[in-house]
A = this chain, B = another copy of it.
Amino acid sequence: MPSQTPLDCPLPFADYPNILLAHGGGGRLTRHLIEELFLPAFRNPPLDQLHDGAELAVGESRLAFTTDSYVVRPLFFPGGDIGTLAVNGTVNDLAMCGARPKWLSAAFIVEEGLPLATLERVVQSMRQAATVAGVQLVTGDTKVVDKGKADGLFLNTAGIGVIERPLAVNPAQVRPGDGILLNGDLGRHGMAVMAARESLGFDPPIQSDCAPLAAPVLALLDAGIEVHCLRDLTRGGLASALNEIASTGRVRIAVDECAIPVNDEVRGACEILGLDPLYVANEGRFVAFVAPGDLTHALQILHSQPLGREACLIGAVTDAAEPLVTMKSRIGVERVLDLLSGEQLPRIC
């Protein structure tokens, strides 16, 4: 829980000489690694935007380019597997740049001894997911490492999308007054993976929400909705995504707990495991920061989309000020929604 591990001071590398699981958790230590190591080393305008992907100019065209590795354990879980995840995760990062996803690469790191039938099943999932998302897998790579030197299968996909409209969708564009729309209930993916990993026999099993989000996003953009920022709610969940945007865009954000949908099965599972659904990863959920005048229209559009039927307004950008995310709780108390310092759920994507 965030409040149990507050850490508001910078974390010099000297305090953490070795990599911790939390460095990959999407919380404070991940941010630290990015800001203290990667950004200073590679500094350039596309990278500096700290968005889900880089925006590139090629001739008259604008492209989005993104990459993600997938290390989920177990490889198969209710509602998906590492293959569907690897396609949808990268498709979604492109969609969050306002791009139409077009082409993916696929790179496999396989542990010696993995059954070929397992690899085949993953490849078939990727094929299906690519067909549904309307993308092509155009280039790839396979490496095999000795037994005991990997965990079955790691997958990387990079993706290229085309930004078809003259828009700027990134954290620097958010501004006071923007409403924050969420396309559905939270926490399914993380809890589905966790339950499969720990063999928790929820009945019926919680299904991952893993899905390609380009259709609802492009529906908003095609309708001319003034979208300022988009972010899918993967590692670290809603709370981490809002914190990242508040921090990069230098704004305050306020959300209302009552407005944030979490279904009963997920809420129950979270309570049993001592987890907060606001920090649990999703793979088919996103927030859209939308200009106030366009909110009603945007909700109408989302409601007409299969992946936006339960879309709702969960909060707003309140000020251009020191970055902060607050939440009004069910009992009306306002509290700070912080970045996690530790790692709540390792290896869910």
List residues of A whose CB falls within 8 A of some B CB. 13, 16-25, 30, 33-34, 37-38, 41-42, 44, 46-47, 53-54, 56, 58-61, 63, 65-71, 102-103, 105-117, 119-120, 123-124, 126-127, 130, 136-146, 148-151, 154, 156, 158, 160, 162, 346-347
Say how many copies of this protein the assembly contains. 2
Which one, B20, B112, B138, B150, contacts A54 given CB within 8 A?
B138
Give Cα distance in the complex from A149 to B156, angstroms: 16
28 interchain pairs, CB-CB under 8 A = A13-B116, A17-B115, A17-B116, A19-B116, A19-B144, A21-B146, A30-B142, A34-B142, A42-B123, A42-B140, A44-B136, A46-B138, A53-B139, A54-B105, A56-B103, A56-B138, A58-B58, A58-B63, A58-B162, A59-B60, A65-B105, A67-B107, A67-B139, A69-B108, A69-B141, A107-B156, A149-B150, A160-B160
Which one, B22, B58, B148, B347, contacts A145 given CB within 8 A?
B347
Chain B nearest CB: distance from A120 CB in Å? 6
- A23's nearest neighbour on chain B, judged by CB, is B144
Please state if B160 and A37 are interface contacts (CB–CB under 8 Å). Answer: no
Please state if A20 and B154 are interface contacts (CB–CB under 8 Å). Answer: no
Which residues of B are found within 8 Å of A124, using beta-carbon distances?
41
Chain B nearest CB: distance from A98 CB in Å? 15
Which residues of B are found within 8 Å of A136, using beta-carbon distances?
42, 44, 46-47
Give Cα distance in the complex from A137 to B117, angstroms: 35
Give Cα distance in the complex from A124 to B61, angstroms: 32
Give Cα distance in the complex from A132 to B33, angstroms: 24
Give Cα distance in the complex from A63 to B293, angstroms: 39
Please state if A110 and B146 are interface contacts (CB–CB under 8 Å). Answer: no
Please state if A42 and B130 are interface contacts (CB–CB under 8 Å). Answer: yes
Please state if B23 and A110 are interface contacts (CB–CB under 8 Å). Answer: yes
Known: A18-B114, A63-B160. 13 other contacts (CB 8 A): A13-B116, A17-B116, A21-B112, A42-B123, A47-B139, A47-B140, A56-B102, A58-B61, A67-B139, A67-B141, A69-B141, A150-B150, A158-B158
Chain B nearest CB: distance from A169 CB in Å? 15
Give Cα distance in the complex from A20 to B111, angstroms: 8
Give Cα distance in the complex from A114 to B37, angstroms: 15
Please state if B105 and A67 are interface contacts (CB–CB under 8 Å). Answer: yes
Give Cα distance in the complex from A13 to B245, angstroms: 48
Which residues of B are found within 8 Å of A65, using beta-carbon distances?
103, 105, 138-139, 160
Chain B nearest CB: distance from A65 CB in Å? 6
Which one, B103, B110, B130, B151, contacts A150 given CB within 8 A?
B151
Which residues of B are found within 8 Å of A58, using beta-carbon distances?
58-59, 61, 63, 162
Chain B nearest CB: distance from A257 CB in Å? 30
